[in-house]
Structure 1
Amino acid sequence: MDKSIMGRVIDWTNYVLLGLIAAVCTLPFIYILSASLTAPEELLKRGFILIPHSFSLEGYRYVLSTNTIVNSLGVTALVTVVGTLVNLLFTALMAYPLAQRDLFGSRLIMKMVVFSMLFGGGMIPTYLIVRWTGLLDHVGALIIPGLISAFNLIIMRNFFQNLPDGLEEAARIDGCSDPGILFRIVIPLSAPVLASLALFYAVGHWNSYFSAVLYINDSSLWPIQVWLRQIVILSQGGIGDSTSFETGYVAPPAETIKMAVIVLSVLPILVVYPFLQKHFAKGALLGSVKG
């Protein structure tokens, strides 16, 4: 049926509003990318740039002149990959038994999980626990304290509860154990919710910097976000090695270095996101609605 004139007006109004919101959201990314590709002289002269007149990779060249950024990217990638896999494993190991309706004390445990979402021990007790367990200056301090997210646990538990009971019953008749049911039947059927939670965990690990500031004193173990914080907040541009260039080389201004490091820190997660995006909405919806 043809839409009325008022319906078309409402549709076009929504299109315009959504387009404006999308433009406002993408404008900072366009500016950062353009500024990182702009010649330092033009950036200092014009300030705000969306379309550079003269392109330059001097900021990236200077930032990548040492292994500092490359090493920090490696640390971040290691924490993101290992941390995400460990997070998914332990979340599934806790969510599966809590999804069993006949588990004694499951309601009490779930109330404790929800309680942890509202109240926490605080920064100082957490730091003391990390120190007593010997995790200071260790990449494990970036993974283990946040091993299981209560929010993600609830989503995965609800997803497991929505699976047909006949699958587990058939597996038990065939002699399959509880771990076998989890890893052979439940996990393969949970790809959408696992992909969604993997995205949550991965983005959280990639963007995390506060844990490293608290627990990591060795700068060689700093993730990329800590170096980005050092550059952006403290305005320290001396991250590269001017001695590796020709004599008389002048390092680019701090603003160019900031933009280049921001792009390098955001680009990897933007590359991975499209591969998980198709599972994102479906997994979150299936795991958040019980029925």
Structure 2
Amino acid sequence: MQAIIYAVLAVLAFVTFYPFWNSLVISFNTGSDTALGGVTFWARDFTLENYKIVFKEDDIFHAYIITILRTVFGTALSMFFTALFAYGLSKKGIVFKKFYMILCIVTMYFSGGLIPYFILIYDMHLYNTFTFLLINGMINVYNMIIFRTFFAELPDGLEESARIDGCSNFGVFFKIVIPISGPVLATLSLFTAVGLWNDWFTPAVFISDQSLIPLQTLLVQIINAGATASLMTNLNTYAQSMVQNTVTVKALQMATMMIATLPILMIYPFLQKYFVKGALVGSLKE
């Protein structure tokens, strides 16, 4: 039975990992050779030309910077305000505490719809701005509930001793609560960062300025062949003559996809030790 379980897990792992590996192999293979077929596990005609072209394109480099800035600052803002909100709701004696929680939970299942939200963002002069990319979804109710559960389980003695020493509410939050919230902060920060990094739909709807388009939205355009022609025509004459027989649309798509995917994947190993402890916060009670 154990052998069957391992066999099934091995097959599932292969089915999950192979598409990514094949895309990576194609990105390092010449496009003309890939078009012949048969490129599966190894690059048959290795080249770095696909990546050279991608990094030479100013639009892709600029979109990469936008994605990095949005992920870093968006995650920081989301963690700060969500944790602060959750800390307030975790305190006993808050007036209308249950009412606030009901309002928050309702927003997890119901929304006003895309069109009313678009009108609201437009009327607030946030349409087509980088500010919108940062504050959109700044308070995540699901993360707030996890934070709130974690904060509610902290010993009361920690805060009481800090207040005896003269700490205010903000002092307790920043000096006591946040430093001991490493596992839950690391876990939720990673989930939030991955969500922001991979989000292409929101900028596609609320951002029309090409200089503010994140990499994932640009990648969707490239995959849909909407931006590939522009990308190829923007290359200089030397680059075109050098790679005209080796680079294809598919090769550029795979190279761009790897550039957009690998950075966020590299973060996982460094935060893996926090996953189990952070994800199970509040699941066990004495």
Which of 102, 106, 110 aligns to 1:111? It is: 102
Instruction: Report the CA distance between 1:244 and its aligned residue.
Output: 5.1
Could you give the per-residue CA deviations for residues 198-256 of structure 1, whole angstroms, max 9, x where no partner exists? 00110011001111111111101110001100011235423253315257342721100
CA contact (8 A) 1:193 1:284 kept: yes
Amino acid aligned to 1:181: V
Residue matched to 1:269: 264
Instruction: Report the CA distance between 1:141 and its aligned residue.
Output: 1.4
Q: Are residue 13 (structure 1) and residue 4 (structure 2) matched? A: yes
Segments of structure 2 that go 5 or more residues without pairing to the other structure are none
Residue matched to 1:156: 147
Could you give the per-residue CA deviations for residues 81-103 of structure 1, whole angstroms, max 9, x where no partner exists? 00000000000110001001221
Task: Measure the CA separation in 1 of the matches of 2:135 and 2:23.
Answer: 33
More displaced, 53-62 or 205-214?
53-62
2:280 aligned counterpart, secondary structure = helix
Change (3 A) 1:47 1:222: farther
Residue matched to 2:175: 184
More displaced, 116-125 or 53-62?
53-62
Change (3 A) 1:288 1:136: farther
Could you give the per-residue CA deviations for residues 147-198 of structure 1, whole angstroms, max 9, x where no partner exists? 1111111011001011111111111222211111100000001000000110
Which of 113, 124, 129 aligns to 2:115? It is: 124
CA contact (8 A) 1:235 1:254 kept: no
More displaced, 272-281 or 207-216?
272-281
Task: Measure the CA separation in 1 of the matches of 2:117 and 2:284.
Answer: 33
The root-mean-square deviation of aligned C-alpha atoms, in Å, is: 1.6
Task: Measure the CA separation in 2 of the matches of 1:208 and 1:246.
Answer: 32
Task: Measure the CA separation in 2 of the matches of 1:105 and 1:79.
Answer: 34
1:53 aligned counterpart, secondary structure = coil
Which of 174, 189, 194 aligns to 1:203? It is: 194
2:191 aligned counterpart, secondary structure = helix
Instruction: Report the CA distance between 1:276 and its aligned residue.
Output: 1.6
CA contact (8 A) 1:136 1:216 kept: yes
Change (3 A) 1:244 1:264: farther
Could you give the per-residue CA deviations for residues 1-29 of structure 1, whole angstroms, max 9, x where no partner exists? xxxxxxxxx22222111111111110111
More displaced, 132-141 or 117-126?
132-141
Residue matched to 1:7: none
Could you give the per-residue CA deviations for residues 36-55 of structure 1, whole angstroms, max 9, x where no partner exists? 01111211001652222111
Task: Measure the CA separation in 2 of the matches of 1:290 and 1:254.
Answer: 55
Amino acid aligned to 2:29: T
Change (3 A) 1:246 1:67: closer
Amino acid aligned to 1:286: V
More displaced, 192-201 or 270-279?
270-279
Which aligned pairs between 1:241-260 and structure 2 lie closer than 5 A?
A: 241-243=234-236, 245-246=238-239, 248-249=241-242, 250=244, 252-260=247-255
1:286 aligned counterpart, secondary structure = coil
Change (3 A) 1:148 1:290: farther
Residue matched to 1:29: 20
Task: Measure the CA separation in 2 of the matches of 1:64 and 1:174.
Answer: 55
More displaced, 249-258 or 163-172?
249-258
Change (3 A) 1:288 1:113: farther
